[in-house]
Amino acid sequence: MRPAPADVRTVVCVGAGVIGGGWVAYFLARGYRVVAWDPAPDGEERLRHLVRAAWPALTDLGLADGASMDNLSFEPDLAKACAQADFVQESAPEDLELKRTLLADIDAATPEGVVISSSTSGYGMSEMQDKCAHPDRTVVGHPFNPPYLIPLVEVVGGTSTSSDVVAWTSEFFTLAGKSVITMDREVPGFIANRLQEALWREALHMVAAGEATVEQIDLSITDGPGLRWPIFGPMLTFHLAGGQGGMAHMLDHFGPSLLSPWTRLVAAELTPELRDAVVDGCDREADGRSIDDLVAERDRGVVAVLRALGKA
């Protein structure tokens, strides 16, 4: 039966490439025993090289009690690997039929009730779980590269996923030290990928049209809004752009610019309902902090980032 999130001791990582190997390194650093499986002939060699390369950074961040690279074992038999699992993280290539078949094989070999999470970067669990005998325990746990350094994990179930499994998975990743977004519904690419894909596509358009060079595009982010985003995301950043009036003033004042040709994307219609949802969300995120409080927090953060990058 499914262990409590705090009682997970053995994590099975299916797939040991860049993402799967990054998960292995992360779980080892958090003190778990990790059993890895990968079909590549040199899979174990590549995995252990990746873990050794990641270990200095993980050591700098701080290792959990009992964390050791010696807690890694490589099992060439998928069924034998999954049989040991308290939790499974699948990180196979982004091939839908491959994932459908692999998840069904994992499901058949994993002890009853144990959660099976997928690192998919775009597929919904609804389209991947249809071959599983127990689809209720399959869920998306989408990380960001490298998983051993980037905190965010997006968790979302499919149409057959139990709500208890979604809650369990979010709690497990939180206890494991991750920053977790529990999504209310499936959307292709999830949240963060859709945002960075929009930026990526506009960048390609500008290069193709001769409007900007690759170097100019990168500099526009690293020395521009990218310095603010580690402190506040785009919503709270624009909340401050409204001055003391906050997001309400920002939308009322700059809302018409949504119709300007600043991007190839079609702008969302700024309905009163959308305006109010964004304003209310910023108020919740501010959580009682005034505009002055937020400005001071942002400024301290940007100074820290500039100093860390040697740009101060």
**pLDDT tier at 10 (50, 70, 90 boundaries)?**
very high
CA angle 34, 189, 221 (to 5 degrees): 95
- What was the pLDDT predicted at 66? 96
- Structural domains of the chain ordered from first start: 10-182 (3.40.50.720), 191-309 (1.10.1040.10)
- 2, 111 Cβ separation under 8 angstroms: no
Report how far residue 287's alpha carbon sits from residue 281's, in angstroms, rounded to the nearest whole number.
Answer: 10
β partners of residue 33? 10
Per-residue H/E/C for 253-293 = HHHHHHHCCCCCCCCCCCCHHHHHHHHHHHHHHHCCCCHHH
Cα four-point dihedral sign 231, 236, 238, 243: negative
Q: What percent of the chain has pLDDT over 70?
A: 100
142: pLDDT strictly greater than 80: yes
pLDDT, residue 303, reads: 86
Nearest to 116 by CA among 168, 185, 39: 168
Report the distance separating Cα 265 and Cα 249, nearest Å.
23
Q: Cα separation of 26 and 176, whole Å?
A: 9
Degrees, nearest 5: CA angle 142-143-145 = 140
Dump pLDDT digits (tens) for 49-81: 999 999 999 999 999 999 999 999 999 999 999
pLDDT digits (tens, 9 = 90+) for 294-311: 988 988 888 888 888 888
- Contact yes or no for 124/96 (Cβ under 8 A): no
pLDDT of residue 130: 95
Q: What is the pLDDT of residues 147-193, one digit of tens each?
A: 999 999 999 999 999 999 999 999 999 999 999 999 999 999 999 99
pLDDT of residue 254: 84
Q: Is the pLDDT of residue 312 over 80?
A: no
221-272 pLDDT, tens digit per residue, is 999 999 999 889 999 999 999 999 999 999 998 888 888 888 888 878 888 9
- Residue 131, pLDDT > 80, answer yes
The per-residue pLDDT for 220 is: 96
Lowest mean pLDDT among 48-52, 137-141, 276-280, 301-305: 301-305
